[in-house]
């Protein structure tokens, strides 16, 4: 009971600090709208994974993309949230470093073995860049040493990021690699099945990429 009361008091204090810091209601509305949007994309990834559980033949590479979308959606929601979110920042950094490495490896493999290209999922390089952008945002913005290991990631994620040229390069690369997704979103037919509706999947990834680029731009 004492631990629960302490946690409640901490959350209340965090909320009061957040309200004092964010003196514009419009900014708060924008932040919470971003949180809702990112969580919606993450929820869409969860829905795809649930549907895939009953499809033994669903490709593993597609499952990896769906898992990445869930983690990126939740991670972006945590960074956009005025009150932060669960897990230490170091844990989020580790997760996105691993995702970056995974998709860079997948991209390198597909350069030599061009198989299973699904345009509406986005390229492996695009996902690697997105995960790398997450690592950059979590690392380049100044944080206190205690914040890196705290069980609750503080929010909102603001500040001036180091190496801004790297940030702009990531934004440009995200935009360029997202162009095929836009074409797929406009031209790919949409089936009723959630796993084969390429248009919906492409729009979800585009929304994630646009939100990521916008948040990254605010830090530069």
Phi-psi region of 116 (alpha: psi -120 to 50; beta: other; left: phi over 0): left
pLDDT for the residue numbered 39: 93
- The two three-digit tokens of residue 197, written as one number: 């509706």
Does 93 reside within a domain?
A: yes
pLDDT for the residue numbered 115: 62
- The two three-digit tokens of residue 136, written as one number: 């950059």
Range of weakest confidence among 20-24, 138-142, 155-159: 20-24
Does 10 reside within a domain?
A: no
Does 21 reside within a domain?
A: no
pLDDT for the residue numbered 181: 83
Q: How far apart are CA 131 and CA 70, in angstroms?
A: 12
The set of residues, in sequence order, having a beta carbon less than 8 Å from that of 48 and lying 6+ positions away, is: 66, 69, 194, 195, 201
Count how many domains the chain has: 1
Does 19 reside within a domain?
A: no
Q: 5 vs 2, 11, 134, 170, CA distance in Å?
A: 5, 10, 33, 43
- The two three-digit tokens of residue 194, written as one number: 């959630």
pLDDT in tens, 155-178: 666 667 788 899 999 999 999 988
pLDDT for the residue numbered 150: 67
pLDDT for the residue numbered 97: 95
Report which of residues 180 and 144 the model is more confident about: 180
Range of the domain at 110: 30-218
The set of residues, in sequence order, having a beta carbon less than 8 Å from that of 134 and lying 6+ positions away, is: 72, 75, 76, 92, 96, 99, 212
Does 15 reside within a domain?
A: no
Does 105 reside within a domain?
A: yes
pLDDT of 20 over the 70 cut: no
pLDDT in tens, 84-120: 777 788 888 899 999 999 999 988 887 877 665 555 6
- The two three-digit tokens of residue 37, written as one number: 């949007």
- Give percent of the chain with pLDDT exceeding 90: 23
Q: How far apart are CA 201 and CA 181, in angstroms?
A: 9
Q: 87 vs 49, 65, 104, 153, CA distance in Å?
A: 22, 22, 25, 6
Residue 23 — φ and ψ, nearest 5°? -85, 0
Range of weakest confidence among 118-132, 141-155, 185-199: 141-155
pLDDT for the residue numbered 197: 80
**Do 105 and 185 form a contact (C-beta atoms < 8 A)?**
no
The CA-to-CA distance between both ends of the chain, in Å, stands at 43
Does 111 reside within a domain?
A: yes
- Indicate the DSSP class of residue 142: -
Does 212 reside within a domain?
A: yes
């Amino acid at each position: 009971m004492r631990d629960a009361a302490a946690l409640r008091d901490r959350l209340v204090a965090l909320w009061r600090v957040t309200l004092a810091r964010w003196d514009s209601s419009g900014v708060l509305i924008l932040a919470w709208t971003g949180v809702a949007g990112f969580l919606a994309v993450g929820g869409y990834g969860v829905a795809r994974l649930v549907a895939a559980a009953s499809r033994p033949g669903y490709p593993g590479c597609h499952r990896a993309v769906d898992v990445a979308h869930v983690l990126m959606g939740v991670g972006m929601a945590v960074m956009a949230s005025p009150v932060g979110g669960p897990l230490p920042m170091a844990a989020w950094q580790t997760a996105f470093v691993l995702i970056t490495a995974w998709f860079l490896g997948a991209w390198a493999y597909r350069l030599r073995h061009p198989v299973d290209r699904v345009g509406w999922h986005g390229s492996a390089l695009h996902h690697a860049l997105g995960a790398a952008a997450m690592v950059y945002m979590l690392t380049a913005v100044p944080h206190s040493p205690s914040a890196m290991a705290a069980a609750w990631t503080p929010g909102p994620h603001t500040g001036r990021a180091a190496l801004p040229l790297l940030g702009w390069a990531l934004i440009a690369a995200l935009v360029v690699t997202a162009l095929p997704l836009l074409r797929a979103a406009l031209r790919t037919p949409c089936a009723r099945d959630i796993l084969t509706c390429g248009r919906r999947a492409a729009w979800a990834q585009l929304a994630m990429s646009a939100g990521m680029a916008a948040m990254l731009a605010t830090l530069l």
